Amino acid sequence: MKQELQKLFADLHLFSSLVANVRLSNLTFDDYHFKKADIEVDLIFAKKTQFAHLQEAFSALFKKELFDGEEWDIHEEPEPNDKQWLHSLQEVWIKEYFLNKSMSMKVVDDNTFLSRLQRDLRDVNAPESVVHELLLRLNHLEAIQMKQGHVYDYIFGQSESEYFVFEWGIYV
């Protein structure tokens, strides 16, 4: 999994093309957002069956986060061959979201991640039923810490049937 992601970041042309070709309106995601004071936990899940491969899934989850974060309408996605869109993905958005000093790309131990997930969800008062549901979804887990900081973490992973993104941050 880590090698596939490294290849994606080594070839920003490929990455931007994959992002551009994703049609968010054709995909389904399960979003979870929890907040308590300045601490936020976000998870996004997508069924593996929607994607041909891991790189496509990562690109789709990134595009969803980009559209959500920038508050863009998914029904107004640029065409996949729009040169300006491809250029802005490659030269601005991918670099802004990922290629900075907090980029880490480290394999995360399953048990460590699951313990941390439980703790972080309880810290933001996520209902126990939701915590249990999320843990069930994360069977046969593989996870990569994409960004790590003192007040922000970003983890991409896959379970037996889903891809996911986990974000934890302190926002003041």
Count structural domains, the chain. 1
Q: For a pLDDT cut of 70, what percent of the chain falls above it?
A: 98
Tens of pLDDT, residue by residue over 135-150, are 999 999 999 999 877 7
Q: What is the pTM of this model?
A: 0.93
> Are the C-beta atoms of residues 142 and 158 closer than 8 Å to each other?
yes
DSSP sequence for 140-170:
S-EEEEEEE-SSEEEEEEE-SSEEEEEEEEE
Higher pLDDT, 102 or 64: 64
List pLDDT tens digits, range 103-127.
788 999 999 999 999 999 999 999 9
Domain residue limits at 9? 2-170
Reported in sequence order, the residue ranges of 37-161 that DSSP labels E, i.e. its strands, are 39-47, 103-108, 142-148, 152-158
Secondary structure letter of residue 22 according to DSSP: -
Q: In what order do the strands lie in the sheet with 103-108?
A: 30-36, 39-47, 162-170, 152-158, 142-148, 103-108
Question: For residues 148 and 59, which has the higher predicted lDDT (pLDDT)?
Answer: 59
Percent of the chain that is helix, strand, coil (3-state, to 5): 50, 25, 25
CA–CA separation, 120 vs 118, rounded Å?
6
Q: Please say if the pLDDT value at position 100 is more than 80.
A: no
Query: Mean pLDDT of all residues in the chain?
Result: 93
